[in-house]
Amino acid sequence: MAEAGSFAEKVKQQADIVRVVGEYVRLKKSGQNFTGLCPFHAEKSPSFAVHPTKQIYHCFGCGVGGDVFKFVMEMEKCAFPEAIRVVAEKCGISIPRPKDRSPEERKENQQRSVLVEMHREAQSFFVKQLEGTLEGKAARAYLEDRGLDKDTITRFGIGYAPSGGDLLLRHLKSKYSEKLLVDSGLVSRDQGGRLFDRFRRRITFPISNESGKIVAFGCRALGDDQPKYLNSPETPIYSKSNLLYHMDRAKEGIRRQDFAILVEGYMDAIAVARAGISNVVASCGTSLAEPQIKLLGRFTRRVIVNYDPDAAGQTATERSLVLLLEQDFEVRVLALPPVGNKKADPDLFIREMGKDAYLKLLKEAPPYVDYLIARARQMDLTTGEGKQRALNFLLPYIQKIPNGILRSEWATRIAQQLRIEEPLLRSALSKAAKERRSEIKTAPELIGRAAKPVERRLIRMLAEAEGFRHELAQQLQNARLYHGLETEKIFAALVIASLAGQPLQATEVAAVLDERDRRLLFEILFEEANEPTWEEAQSCIEALQNRQAEHELAEVQRSIEANPPAPEMRGLLEKKQDLMRRLAAAR
């Protein structure tokens, strides 16, 4: 890559690869080389070697290797020109001045430098207000109540913006022009032209860019002021969609562990980081943007989304999944359980339940497909229309998956979970894709408007077999054999009527059904059929039992694939064997 006589060649000749690599990998002298654990794959015994004479590295485990520039490009996920600059800075090599820029470019660069300096001064001001004022004492009490000790407050640079309205303005205006003060986002101007502090009576959280320079603030109201959270506006040095809170501290942990935890807010990120989990970042709100995802992609392609469990958090989770899937990320979703009667965000959960409980759930976080199917199953799946709504909820996510194998796996799992014939589901999905539709149109054969023959026969028996319908209804109810069927509501009405011990009136049963089920009941009752027998009834019940066992076996298999702890795994394997024996015996 480095041409002879170029600045890149000069840097390569002067750079010490051991020194550069040593900032990322703990190296030990081993003969003439240095060795350590490879940063590019997980290993327990070191197979990564650096040759100080030849200025190269190589991993004997995964096979990666190259020069100092290649190493930095891989670790920092940057292009070759940026790698040259990084290596030069690490090795103290002077970087040539860039070509003369236009007056406008020089002015913009100067403005950005001044704005960064202004934010550094604002940070010092906010910290002093928290530490040394009466208002700051109340703010510290609030933070302590949220479980933040002095070390944590210092570590994350938390401060306080006083309620005076112009204290920061007075602190800064002697050094900076009014235009710069407004451009910084730290100061606002009212309709009458008067300047005032943007942040008042608020806890301040400094927001840094990837290199660790403070470029904005996120501020939480100390009292009941609205909005609860107020952030810096867009400025020449801050674009919300391009930054992730805590990324400057988290990037090494993300790179090392090869996954990131994505939370909503500052307190959530701080709580997770305090628990010893450094690879956490916050989207500073519920709208994850594409540039933020690309920033994450420089360090990992694996993400666990752990947004708040409220309605806004669920919507944000689903929106973020679409964007992450488009960028071919491997995504899991952690939906925290309630703590007592409270919905728990990461901050509350860790404070109440402890970091070990959080870590356990983090390790068990299900793949996004299971999370979304679980959300879809919260819909009413006892009707065809309900299944159609569930499918249309899932379809946009299926269409965003670029990998065909994963899309195929989705179809299989959806068919099993929603109890839809898989070939029919695949046909409907394919048709929607060809027509570029984001929803599945009504398809009677897909959503099950027609009951299966076994169900139709049992419904007829419950309505007409006076000699044994009471016993038949008892068996169906005790084994819950009709639960989850497309015809569940018809069965439920007939079972209740049969167990009542009174002559069954079809019109009375129909009266408690909706229009769709009423029509289906009468359709079945008007079919030509032989006289029902108890032997036939038992055969139909066995068919439902086998179908129930097949669905249960599929559920058990999915639980096994989630790799649960050993005791739970043993129980699942035993249950799987029992179900397989039952199904084999039935055949």
Across the chain, which distance is largest between two alpha carbons, in Å?
A: 101
Distance of CA 134 to the CA centre of its chain: 41
pLDDT for 100? 56
What is each CA distance from 416 to 422, 480, 554, in whole angstroms? Answer: 8, 19, 7
Q: Which amino acid is at 314?
A: Q
> Given this model, what pLDDT does residue 53 score?
78
**CB-based contact 360:349 (threshold 8 Å):** no
Q: How far apart are CA 365 and CA 180, in angstroms?
A: 46
pLDDT at 445 over 60: no
Its pTM surpasses 0.85? no
The whole-angstrom separation of Cα 514 and Cα 521 is: 11
What tokens appear for 122 in the block? 């604002």
Tens of pLDDT, residue by residue over 525-562, are 887 778 889 998 898 898 888 888 887 887 888 777 66
- Write phi, then psi, for 427 (nearest 5 degrees): -65, -45
Residue 94 DSSP code: P
The residue among 39, 26, 14 whose CA lies nearest residue 89 is 14
- pLDDT above 50: residue 261: yes
Give me the chain's average pLDDT, please.
85
- The separation between CA 496 and the C-alpha centre of its own chain, rounded to angstroms, equals 44
Lowest mean pLDDT among 25-29, 91-95, 268-272: 91-95
Beta strand 159-161 with 187-189 is unpaired
Q: What is the CA radius of gyration of the chain?
A: 32
Secondary element (H or E) of residue 577: helix 566-586
3-state SS string for 33-71: EEEECCCCCCCCCCCEEEECCCCEEEECCCCCEECHHHH
Whole-number pLDDT of residue 384: 67
- Contact status, residue 17 vs residue 71, Cβ threshold 8 Å: yes
pLDDT of residue 4: 45
> Angle CA(236)–CA(238)–CA(240) in degrees, nearest 5?
135
* pLDDT at position 328 over 90: no
Return the structure tokens found at 532: 């029902």
Question: Pick the residue with more confidence: 152 or 78?
Answer: 152
Among 261-265, 313-317, 371-375, 443-447, which range has the highest average pLDDT?
A: 261-265
Q: Which residue has the tokens 């500052």?
A: 266
CA–CA separation, 407 vs 108, rounded Å? 47
CA separation for the pair 250, 244 (Å, rounded): 10
The three-class DSSP label of residue 207 is strand
What are the tokens at 352?
A: 């109440």
What's the confidence (pLDDT) of residue 449? 46
One-letter amino acid at 202 equals R
Residue 208 has pLDDT above 90, yes or no: yes
Instruction: Check pLDDT > 80 for residue 585.
Output: no
Joined tokens for residue 476: 């169906």
88, 447, 534 from 296: Cα distances, Å: 25, 39, 64
